[in-house]
Structure 1
Amino acid sequence: MPARPTSKKSAGDVSGTIIRGLDDCKTFAVFAGVECVNVPNAGCTRCDHIVAQQYPTFTWDKEYLVTPFGTGRDANGQSLKQEGGYVIRLLREDNTATATVNGSPVTWNGRFAEVQVNNFSPRCITASKPISVAQYMKGQACNGLPQFYEGNTIAKGDPAMLILNPSSQTVRSVVFNTVTTGNLSDHFVNVIVRSSDLNCLTLDGLAVATSNFQPFPNCNGYSYAVLQISNGSHKLECPQGFIAYCYGVGVRESYAYTAGASFENLQFKIQVDDPYNVANISGPVESCTGIDMALNAVGEDAISWEWNFGDGSPVVSGQTVNHQYNTPGNYNVQLTVTLVVGCGTREVQVNRNITVLEFPQVDFGPPRAFCTGTSIALNAPTFADPVTYLWSNGATTPNITVNTPGTYSLTVSNAVGCAASGSVLVNEIPPPVLSFTGLANAYCADAAAINLPSVVSPALPSASSFSVNGISTTTFNPQALGPGTYTIVFSLEDPATGCISQIEKAVIIQALPSLNLSNVPAQVCANTPPFALAPLASPANGTFTLNGAPISLLNPQNLNVGQTYSLRYAYTDPATGCSNQAETSLQVLPLPTPAFVDLPARFCANADNINFFTMVSPSDSQNGRFALNTSQELSSSEAQAFDMETLNPGSTYTLSYTFRDPATNCENTVSQSFTLTPLPEVAFIGLNEIFCPNDSPVVLASKVDKPGGTFTLNGTPLTTFAPADYAPGQSYVLLYVYQDPATGCSQTISQTLSIPSLPVLGNLPPAFCQESSLFVFSASPEGGTFTLNGQPVTDFDPSQYAAGLYTLIYTDAGNCASATTQFEVLAPVPPVSVSVAETICDEFGTEVPVRLDATEGIADASQDVAYQWLDLPSQERFAQATRSGSYVVLVENAQGCTETRTFTLSAREDCTPRLYLPEAFSPNGDGLNDELEVFGKYFTQFNLTIFNRWGEVVFQSFTPERRWDGTENGKDALAGVYVVKLAYRLLSESFLRQETRRLVLVR
């Protein structure tokens, strides 16, 4: 046992005790345990009852694998890994046996040894002789599981005992159950397998992911998985064998037992010898069919041996026997050994599994052959068991493809190492030789079709096939295929060998040259100048014919008007030698016949808006155009409204008219001359441009150098201009038209006549105060002069003039008219003079306010004036102030003249402290009297209490700075009368003042 038992019935630690029966003829079982034990010591609560059946010594072995307890989390998210570790106990029958744990030697205490593991990790145990190993789960205080509090501190887990199986005692399938009690909530199974067999394990029919496994650090070849499972029945399977331990934990509870392991007698073992198993006494046995193997029973004290090979063959006797398996499969060899015991004999059975694989056979049969340019596949035989392949060319695949002749060999080996070899001869057959004998490299797109069998060698139509760009055909037709590069393939199968030979050739079909005659006109006018045809064709350097006759320069003037001609162009591409031709038609069109109609021989120099289109036929502004002297082109709008003033008078001009026939687009031009006659010269003499409204009338004929014409003023005919008949402030345009009787050409001259506006004075007040600022006179029109009471002026300073009436006159710049007005200068305001001798107490105000007199000491202060105090509520001569500071008064007389003065009222320093409390306030949110404020200073003690009509306190303050906002318990207090009680002591007083006042709250 791992510790001293705590039970009062304990007989002490009996680990390592040998128990023998008194009668050798009878067998017995041994159960060991403790009524209540703390693991690993008394300091690890809590104790628990543990017990387990001890395994017979013939099931012991020399290698054990120990796995840690727990993984994952419980329903509350708590970790289930027993980070505190576990305890290992080792037992030995032979006191000379030694052992190591993870490579470290253990210290024996007689026949047992104990190892503490204090973390979550596995252990590998190896011994020099068979031993037994037990694993113990630690108590809840030491297992590392998290503790929690439910009235007192508790945790999961408790001591548990697990007798381990050696690595040699495995099972292939097991059904097991978890333990179900009220406290057990979390269940696990630990599974140990060989690392090479990780993919074999299934739990309840589902594969266990290899990611769940961890390797044993010190036991190469083994891995373990800690799996959290549900409560109930489960099934584990692995054909290659495994060891499993089932356990669980709960609050103050645990259990553990061996779920899957065998208990074979390991005192006798079966040793196998053959070419693939040399003295194999413990490892897996694998051999092949047809292999003779020797089986030897290893052990002592036997008197007979009987062998059952598991393949249906007869039972054979003897300690060493030979056997051969001829069918692949898994066989269980069962050895029955008869032993001599104290009072008779006893039979012991030993089992060993033997896996027999099929011995490979390799036979390729007769030689193989392939045609040159192809390949052949060499396929290995198929086998039921996994095998490896090695070809003579180094390939390791079941099948290979080769394209060179020679002998190829294959060696096939299975997992046991059984191997067989075979070879095959591969020959190469050359294909027939093919050639193209009459096929050119290129053809023009208009070439004739070619019969392909007639241009190849050998000519074997029945065995041949042809294709053009992958399409099977025996004809190559350039006209049908069109330009491009084509691959012609010729294939021939040798009737004798079956080998196919193939050649191909790229043949180009050259495109015919593309000709473009789009620049050659289909129609030409009869007057079109001669032109060369070569630049109009693309590509160039070809030849033209006109109605079959060669031509290079085309002159429409030599052709028949109205006739249609055939024009043909031929061209050969120098790069490809391919030719092409194009044809077009050519028609010679007649010319239009324009003419002048009613074009005058002369025009006056001021003639304008002349429409030349009314003077030609056909008259067409869209298709006709004009030019002067050939070089001056006229736009359509200019030709329809031409202004002769743009030309030089006295000159002769040639007018050309070109008309384009919209039906044929052909043009023709006619010309005619005209002369531009100069205009007569005429001028105004002695005619003024500005007239005063009262000027005398003027006879206009006397004011021109050539009379006899007509006058108009702003469009109205007249002969005399009288200024008095026209409105002042405006301008008038005078026109004079004179016609030369010799040429009939007229000349018009003009002049603007102006009558100035009557002067108007700017805004001028009817009166000025003497204290008014400088005033600048203004009038319109500007530029005139001002006089004040006969004296020239430009501005006016009232302070420089005595009170009285003044006359202002403004005369315009032309001295045509003037404007007159009068204004008054007013008497000044009585002077404001204030003297303030008093001072005032700011702290609490004063019972007698200071009186301010705006006109103190002024003799005429009684005249008609108005007063306005800007900082005090008074519009009289006198005002009362209750605070120190500056005060402003504005004095204004009946004429609006004003004077302003400022008073300064000083504060007294010897004010006696006093208190002021308003009798009413209105907390309505209008910003005025919204809070009740106590005015005063110098308090050494202060208490303000306000009662409502029912005698309830609604507000209380111990400092005058705290104000009442008219609320009671956070809500607006009712409007009405409240009682205020005051108790206060002033700085200069030793007694307490107490007052009761009335307060009105207004809403």
Structure 2
Amino acid sequence: MKLFKKHISLFMFLCMFGIGGRSFAQFYSSPNVCVSNKVVDPVSGVASGCSESTIFFDELPTATSWEWNFGDGSPIVTTRNASHNFQTVGTYTVTLNRPTGPGSGTPTTKTVTVGSYPQQPMFNKKEVADTTVCGGKTLKLDPYKGNLLNGGGNYRYLWFPNGETTPTISVDSSGCYSVQVYDGNSNCSLTARINVKFCLQNPPSGNEPQKWYFGFGSTLEFNQTGTVIPRDSTASTGDFLLIPGITDPVFNASGTTTSNPLNLQGAAGMVYGPDGRLAFASDGKKVYSGLDDSEILMVDSSAYQGLTTVPSQGVVIVPKNSCNECQHHQYYLFTVNPTNGLLSYSIIDTRFNNKKGAIVATNIPVIMPVEERISVTPNGDETGFVLYANSLDGSGFQTIMIDSNGVSVVPQAVGNTPDPGYVASGQATVSPNNRLMARGTVIGNKNYVEIFDIDANTSQLLNPRLIDIGVDAPPTIYGVAFSNNSDVLYVSVSGDLLLGQESQLIQLNLLAGTDAAIGASKIIIDRSASFQFGAVQLGPIGGDGSKLIYLSILDQDFVPYIQRPDQVGDAATVGYSNTPGSTTKGITVAGTTKLGLPTVVKAVPQQESDGLSASYDGNCHKSPTILTVNPICDPLKSEFTWMFEDGSEQKGEQISYTFPKLGWNTFKIKVVIFNKSPLEKIVNNKTINSLLETECLERIFVDSIYIKPSPILTLPSIEYLCVVEGESKLIGPATVGGKGFEYDWQTSVGTSLNSPDSAYKFALPGLYLLEVENDLGCITNSKITILEGCEPRIFIPDAFTPNGDAINDLLEIHDAHIIEPELQIYNRWGEVVFTTDNLDVRWDGKFKGRYFGNQLYTYTLKYKSKYFPERGILTARGSVIVLH
């Protein structure tokens, strides 16, 4: 790979916009001073407006007291760094007086000219606007549309993202576009932005592998691997038209075979842009463009120029949030000068040099003197970042807020004072959950880890705690790194090999309890008198999935790592690659490792363009499926047509369709987007405007749904119970369509009868419901009606003995649940010997008044069922012997 070889001159740009290198006066002030346009709400006290404060900074390192008079009647400010908002255009004399100490006695003055802004640029009459455009077209962006003067004759323009300098541009792709308009007289500027969405345009690709540049040309490259998550075909609800995700993602690090041009003992600063690509990397002397790794952007008058060493953690690059500006068109490069402890920043602007970026401001002072290790984290609402820097003068930590208002310092008097002469090097780090900050310190010639809570609302550091790691100083703590769950802390002690000092890699369990208990939880993961340990770091920053912790060792060609940093235990438990007896020491890298690892920042990912998404609810056979497509390209009119394999079609954002077959069913969604009526803004008539809409885009999407089998029940619709006789019946369905079933018998109003069995014993008439769910989650409902109904019953004996003994002398017929009986009895010659329609009237065996001996008689009994008269006339036939 070709790496970082081309030098870019910025002179033309710096001259064009008047941001050239400053001459170092006794105090610094912003090169361009603009009147404040901030308006403070009298109720909430919240200021609105886009102007950044004018920065003043005393550059006399030995100064200890300050009085700033801004010449406009505002109150005196008594800090080294002061920011001020001038309320009126004009020329002011700013005076710095040092009442006591070095530099006192002679005030220092500077004249500043406060300029005015151009007319506010706007899109669609808004400073921040959104618009949707039909694909395949171009859109002209004009920030002063309708203004005959086009904003003024002496305005200059600078567009994002491509850096055009024309009053208008035409665009043909989705994205955020902004224009910064400069007033030619004052160089003050205002910005407007517009988010352009070209309907159904594919988003740009991004998310390249993350890399770490460190040491003398060493590189670690991280690639995310994992198992693709297949769509759960059996899920009852789900989404269509989605890119499959990855389950159990893991970042696998590998060393590159080619070296990079960074050459430093400490740590580089790196930042990944909102598109997921590396934006910039810096060693504090040079800035390297991530979009084209052959680009070098020289930092003019860098804080590190001429230095043989750079701080261990003194380089940070973060996106610059600008009011009304697309995020992130500019980046802050923060550096700490180890000679005087000055924290300053330069600004990189991506609108130049074919989007590779250019340095547009250098070494703007923030605060001094501070330790060379600075840590960074997103602020609470992720609208900016927070830097933590500890003062070398004993005044405690400084919280540097970085947001759309610029860079502001919030002093804090928090933290323990280290031993005199202790040089703070190494790392300070913030936990992945952004709730804790840790650093190493030496107090009483003992090494401690100092841990702070981070206030979620103010980002301030609170409640400092000291954890004694049981190691006398020297050697001293260098690296600190939290595990992924923020519950375990890893600490490296960096021993000087020339002095015979031992290096250690230590684990601390932060859930152990008290500070003393945390110190007592110490487990030594590795120790060495041959290697000098440096930084430890969790990586990759901002990634999902399994993250490892890496250790940098001075002057080596490999990087050890911890595979399971969230676990508490020894080297084998946490999977330390440098465990004695292991086959590998870690990851082999090109170049030579040093003590530092890079400080990596990731911007908030950019929103993707408007894509089609659809979902379903229900995928059981013979049951309707609700299909929904989410509206797109708002406010353009969208029309959706669902097309199915059986040739049927339905229109609408949400439809109901019963798929005809089990298994996979393919369908299509035809999307038609319409241009708005050209008269929409003139004619307020929906009917007319609808007729004037024209089709501008048509696209067809294809997907499929898996239809699961539902239970199939065989259950009678009606059953009868002979209630008067106390009859009950056990009734249940025959069920197929699954491998297991759950039954729920219910009353007619849906009250469960708490009977999970397939059959239910009915004792009362009524309507009963049955819900059966199979192992796939599909439900079939059925019902059965239980009616009161007794089956007719007749008993006619086959013999009787009319002999006068009063026992079985009559033909007694027993019946139940019959009506309208007609009984006829015949002799062998077919003569009717007895007939009755009242079965209580019984035959005595006589014919014509006398007995005819032992004979066989046949009978016919016709009747109707009392409960089932619809069955008509029923007949019972048989014979009876009369024994006389």
TM range (shorter): under 0.3
| Higher radius of gyration, 1 or 2 | 1
Q: Tell me which of the two structures has the higher relative contact order, counting C-alpha pairs closer than 8 angstroms and 6 or more residues apart.
A: 2
Task: Name the TM-score, length of structure 1 as normaliser.
Answer: 0.20
